[in-house]
Amino acid sequence: MNRRIAMVINVRPEHREEYLRLHKEPDPIVMQALRDANHVNYTIFNLGNLLVCTFTYTGKDLDADRTRLRQRPDLQDWMQKTANMQEQFEVTQEGNWWSVMDEVLHDV
């Protein structure tokens, strides 16, 4: 069964323009890696310094797929570069970089 996921993080103000530029034309390897990890309809929204990511998870084990994604050698440079541009929320769950949001309304 598909699962909708939403996450939030802040972009550091001094890196905002560079972060947005990088994501206007993301690395195809990154996008394929997300699809390989069963992340589809991957979208990042921006408001000021706030970033909201949404995607549909189509796999069976999100934690395992996210772990494999984080361990991919071909993504290390991208993840390090973008992580340095971000600032976590205090409510970030252990093991996550972005804060996973709870769904409160879904009209089907």
Condensed to tens digits (0 to 9), the pLDDT of residues 53-101 reads 999 999 999 999 999 999 999 999 999 999 999 998 877 666 678 888 8
The answer to whether residue 4 scores a pLDDT higher than 90 is yes
The 10 Å CB-count burial string (b at 16+, else e) for 59-90 is eeeeeebbeebeeeeebeebeeebeebbeeee
pTM, entire model: 0.88
Ordered DSSP codes for 27-61? -HHHHHHHHHTTEEEEEEEEETTEEEEEEEE-SS-
Which two structure tokens, joined as six digits, stand for 59?
């796999």
Domains with residue ranges and CATH for the chain? 3-85 (3.30.70.100)
Tell me whether strands 99-100 and 39-47 are parallel, antiparallel or unpaired. Answer: unpaired
Condensed to tens digits (0 to 9), the pLDDT of residues 15-61 reads 999 999 999 999 999 999 999 999 999 999 999 999 999 999 999 99
